[in-house]
Amino acid sequence: MRLAKANVLPTMLAGVVLTHLHSDHVSDLNDVITTHWVMSPEPTPLRVFGPVGTRTFVAATLDALAIDIGYRLAHHADLNEGPLVEVTELAPSTTFELGGLAVLAGATDHRPVEPSLGYRVTDADQSVVIAGDGVPCASLDALVKGASAYVQTVIREDLVRLIPSARLHDILDYHSSVEQAAATAQRAGVKALVLTHMVPPPLPGTEHEWRELASAFHGLIVLGDDMVTLDLDTMDVTS
């Protein structure tokens, strides 16, 4: 749905990059695979990159889609084979090219979810690090150092602790808090910190609280709701 809102069709994707295999980060991959397959005018592989375990996850996803794939093959005379998916499992420090951009994979700490990866995406002038879930660690510091922007999933520890659920409190030890993300950004000397996958979602009128919690970072702080755009040249933010 977010691809559609951004006017990007799955057939326009150079590839899909996964940070880790938690369900809230990968459960829609089945729709991307199916739509890429049925909308491509000729057989075209979908490239999927991710940590070790991605190949098993993609195979299981295709198995789950087997009945649907059979229906579509029976209905469309010009579909003669199922989806083509090329999986590349990455180790930390692996580099690859995607859509004309250089991508570097780096280890993150989301244990017991492991391995998990962040990615530094670079063109000629700018670098952006997409860290995914996890807590601060030396390998994340190295990946983020000197980037133009650092995108980090974050939680509000103060708000999570108000909810009387031990299971929910469990998330605190393997997700960066806003304060931790700000400290990482400051150490790395980035220009912009983009807070995303915010838990719990900010209520209208409380956005300033998130920025105040990130005040240890002295650069631009962006609340990265879906469809927010950051221009890396001007540092202008639009939504």
DSSP state of 171: G
| Residue 24 annotated to the active site | yes
Q: Beta 117-122 vs 101-107: how paired, if at all?
A: antiparallel
Q: Which residues pair with 128 in a beta bridge?
A: 121, 149
Cβ proximity of 146 and 127 under 8 Å: yes
Cα 98 to chain centroid, rounded: 15
Taking each helix axis as running N to C, give the angle between helix 54-64 and helix 29-39, from 0 to 180 degrees, rounded to the nearest 10. Answer: 70
Alpha-carbon torsion 229, 19, 27, 76, what sign? positive
Picking from 174, 67, 71, 76, the residue whose alpha carbon sits closest to that of residue 131 is: 174
CB atoms within 10 A of CB 205: 7
Q: What positions carry a catalytic annotation? A: 24
